[in-house]
Amino acid sequence: MNLIARFLFVSSPIFVGAVNAIDIEELPPPAKHQINFKKEIWPVFQKHCVKCHGPKKQKSDYRIDVKELALEGGEMGQNIIPGKSSESPLVHFMSGLDEETVMPPKDELLGDRTVGLIRAWIDQGAEWPDNVGAKVADPMDHWAFKPITRPKPPKPGQPVDAFIVHQLAEKKLTLSPPASRETLIRRLYLIMHGLPPAPEEVKAFVNDASPNAYNKLVENVLASPRYGERWATHWLDLVRFGETHGFETNRERSNAWPYRDWVIDSLNIDKPYDQFVREQLAGDAMGAPIGTSFLVAGPNDLVKGKDPKLRIMQRMNELDDMINTTGTAFLGITTGCARCHEHKFDPMTQTDYYALQAIFAGVYHADRTLPFNSKQKAKIAELEKQISDLREKLVKYIPQSDATKLPPVNYTHNIEKFPEIEAKFVRFTITQCSRSQPCIDELEIFSGTENLALASKGAKASSNGDFKHPLHKLAHINDGQYGNPRSWIAAGKTGWVQIELPKPARIDRIEWARDREGKISDRLPIGYHIEAGLKAGEWKTIASSEDRKPFKDGKSKAPSYTFKGLSDEEALHAQSLLSSLKEIEKQLANLKSSTKAYAGTFTQPGPTHRLYRGEPDAKREEVEPGAISAFVSLKLKRDTPEQQRRLALANWITDRKNPLTARVMANRIWQFHFGAGIVDTPSDLGRNGVPPTHPQLLDWLAAEFMDKGWSIKHLHRTILLSRTWQQDGRPNPKAIAIDATSRLLWRFPTRRLEAEAIRDCMLAASGTLDLKMGGPGFSGFEVEMENVRHFHPKKSYGIADWRRMIYMTKVRQEKDAVFGAFDCPDASQVVPKRSRSTTPLQALNLLNSTFMVQQANLFAKRLKKDVGPDVTAQARRAFDLCFGRAPDTNELKDAAVFIQSEGLTQFARALLNTNEFVFIP
């Protein structure tokens, strides 16, 4: 199908299945004269067909009013076969000889004469003049799909201002005057940190007479770790990050938080955005393993349906979530439609959708053990050294008979160490088994800490015979997944399995087990040897069961030490060595298990098929992994290793030539500064999205972004230093009449803070905010640990709850009892732009919640502590902390009266409830 054709239909085919054979002899005869298409055929199509097969509907994926599409056919294939009217399905349908497929349906049956005309037209070659019928637009003819150029700003000076002022001038508008310094610093802190500036910082800035006072302030703000914490919230919304699985049981996802910290850190160190993106799609290939948590940050249904179709739907939904999040977050393209039919608006075909599915088809929701970072590696090496030293010292206390050999094989984990050797092939030959045919759940071949045997890295497994069973497959031997359900069993009681590495490598260790999950105790290879070589056949034995003590019960065992017959002093010494050993072994085990992250696991996937209407049981042709074919061919094959698929996608998305990526991100950054993006549908830059208000500015920002090494902080700086950003936010009747929503930015658009920032600001005002960064979060709920988790809002709060809200464990489908009502998303779907609702429930939460009552008390205490009992001083301090300004004379007088009559706590609470406190000025 050509691109135009692909892009143009919706999902409402009316018939599926075989067309009944009809008797060709019964067809009305063709007309005898030369047919004029425009006069005789086209009116028939218009009158009878276009209602269901025209611009609005394309039933059976067929459109008849556009020449190319009409001749090409639909879901059922070609409908018009030029020269062969008796074989053309269109004629069969129109003849009405088959009741099931009669067209047009119902009582509109065309007469024999009309069918005869159509037959004649087809027989005469189905000539269709180019000037008859509808034309369709080229879907690639859309601003966001065109290359990003670097438009020249319309006048010299600050480029952002140049574009904005130019467009304002077209409407006879101008920028507002600069905002006051008090306003400016408050706005800067609220937007960039989500926290108010300290009163001392306000004072210093207001009094800073140096010409670069504001520039210095901007640099300080960008350098603060509070920046990453604030802007990470925006990113986590966008990628539906949550710390429970969602769905029915909504269990905890305890190892999800490393991704949150990774995002915060990436922003703080100003990781180039292209790298930031690549690491989220394929960080496992570039030493940034936590990044791939992005792929599995969404909800995951833990209760798999018993019905196989439902199970497949669940898996399809998991993959859809990855495709959709990748499409919207990075590319600003919606993909959901193409799961069932060609995209209605954008150049995305259904095949593209399944090509993307093939990219992610090997990604599974799971914790992954991460490779150790250099600090961890050093610590591990140190502990291992201590352990081996201690073992050496203790070796003389092992009874002689046991001392020389390795421990016997066990079911759950066996390590074979050998001197480093260069190899491309490794063969594991089993000569004896504990019971029936031998089983191995995963064979790992290490070079240092990297397992090279994974199929997802291109390694290939072979054997001399496999046991046939759905759970036990050769592919499971190197799929990166442990446990009996993902294991290999040999065909016979002896046999071999072999791994061919993608290229020769220096290897020094092999690890294998029967069942690392420890559930099954049978089928253990107990007699075996392992060989390696650069070519298959040129083997060198590197490990064997001969080096081990004889197999007993398959349980993993530490060597036994005996201190009998020693002097008391020596026994005591030996005992203390042994307890040190045990302690260090425990430390090592803890360290090794502490590096899990919910970053997904990867396995080489089987074939991916296009699914007709997205139905799992309607498989169509197999598709290669790929992206959106109208933009790029990734040149991947059906058997391209899993990791390379994601890598190829990541490289295309971050290619400078990709027209979407930089535009999408520049627009997002703009949106979080000004409350609305240049494109107001930030995750849809396609044809169905809203056009940009300032297309030239957006392209300039996107080009500048890439030219400055995809630096997000550079983009912030550019925006923050503009007069546009620094102007006042107050009204101007003339401008309102022309541009009521301030989209042209004749003023700074003020708005309410997001839930997280409101909470953080309150804690900052009351002086309770704990700025501890990173690590597992705190919980806003008391959790009832039933099979289906129930989350009850906490009834009381303590110090542990006073960290920034980004560190509050993000429970899906539940909202924080106080701040959830402030449009805080629940991580069930991607949120590119939060809504800003105003509801009485918000007011109630602020008026009555335990949290607020407590914070008001603490705020009042702080005020007393800061300035003592004088009510005027208390009021001044409270205004400083809450609003970053001094009260005017009347406010001060009234505040003092209120504090005296109602108490300081009530006053404190009132201040935290005001609009001025929660609005970005």
The footprint of other proteins on residues 232-261 (CB under 8 A) is 246-248
- Distance CA(695)–CA(700), nearest Å, equals 9
In the bound state with other proteins, the residue whose beta carbon lies nearer, of 571 and 892, is 892
Count residues near other proteins (CB under 8 A). 87
Helix H or strand E encompassing 388:
helix 374-394
**Among 112, 114, 95, 104, which residue's Cα sits nearest to residue 40?**
114
Structure tokens at 85: 């009217």
Provide the minimum distance between the beta carbon of 325 and other proteins in the complex, in angstroms, as a whole number.
Answer: 10
688 binds other proteins (CB under 8 A): yes
- The CA-CA-CA angle for residues 740, 743, 749, to 5°, reads 85
In the bound state with other proteins, the residue whose beta carbon lies nearer, of 510 and 911, is 911
CB atoms inside a 10 Å sphere around CB 637 = 10
In the bound state with other proteins, the residue whose beta carbon lies nearer, of 127 and 784, is 784
319 binds other proteins (CB under 8 A): no
Site track for other proteins across 187-226, x = CB under 8 A: ----------------------------------------
- Distance CA(547)–CA(561), nearest Å, equals 20
The footprint of other proteins on residues 271-300 (CB under 8 A) is 299
Contact between 546 and 435 under an 8 Å Cβ cutoff? The reply is no
Q: Which residues of 733-749 are buried (b: 16+ CB within 10 A; e: fewer)?
A: eebeeebeebbbbbbbe
- Return the range that interacts with other proteins (CB under 8 A); candidates 149-157, 159-167, 486-494, 896-904: 896-904
In the bound state with other proteins, the residue whose beta carbon lies nearer, of 635 and 730, is 730
The footprint of other proteins on residues 533-592 (CB under 8 A) is none
The footprint of other proteins on residues 796-815 (CB under 8 A) is 813-814
498 binds other proteins (CB under 8 A): no
Helix H or strand E encompassing 443:
strand 442-447
Structure tokens at 684: 């849809």
Provide the minimum distance between the beta carbon of 672 and other proteins in the complex, in angstroms, as a whole number.
Answer: 18
Provide the minimum distance between the beta carbon of 679 and other proteins in the complex, in angstroms, as a whole number.
Answer: 14
336 binds other proteins (CB under 8 A): yes
Provide the minimum distance between the beta carbon of 135 and other proteins in the complex, in angstroms, as a whole number.
Answer: 25
- Binder to other proteins among 741, 800, 868, 870 (CB under 8 A)? 741
- Distance CA(214)–CA(223), nearest Å, equals 14
- Return the range that interacts with other proteins (CB under 8 A); candidates 18-26, 414-422, 544-552, 838-846: 838-846
- Distance CA(124)–CA(118), nearest Å, equals 10
352 binds other proteins (CB under 8 A): no
- Binder to other proteins among 161, 684, 760, 880 (CB under 8 A)? 684
The footprint of other proteins on residues 750-769 (CB under 8 A) is 750-752
16 binds other proteins (CB under 8 A): no
- Return the range that interacts with other proteins (CB under 8 A); candidates 333-341, 401-409, 514-522, 654-662: 333-341
Q: Is the bond preceding residue 129 a cis peptide, omega within 30 degrees?
A: no
- 460 bridge partner residues: 500
Residue 108 DSSP code? G
The footprint of other proteins on residues 452-491 (CB under 8 A) is none
Q: Is 769 exposed, middle or buried (0-12, 13-18, 19+ CB in 10 A)?
A: middle
817 binds other proteins (CB under 8 A): yes
- The CA-CA-CA angle for residues 649, 150, 280, to 5°, reads 25
Site track for other proteins across 716-735, x = CB under 8 A: -------------xxx-x--
Site track for other proteins across 844-883, x = CB under 8 A: xx-xxxx--x------------------------------
792 binds other proteins (CB under 8 A): yes
- Binder to other proteins among 101, 114, 335, 451 (CB under 8 A)? 335
- Distance CA(291)–CA(276), nearest Å, equals 8
Q: What's the count of helices (H) and strands (E) in the chain, helices before strands? A: 30, 19
Place of tokens 């008796």: 86
Provide the minimum distance between the beta carbon of 167 and other proteins in the complex, in angstroms, as a whole number.
Answer: 20
Q: Which residues of 882-913 are buried (b: 16+ CB within 10 A; e: fewer)?
A: bbbbebeeeebeebbebbeeeebbebbbebbe
305 binds other proteins (CB under 8 A): yes
CB atoms inside a 10 Å sphere around CB 198 = 14
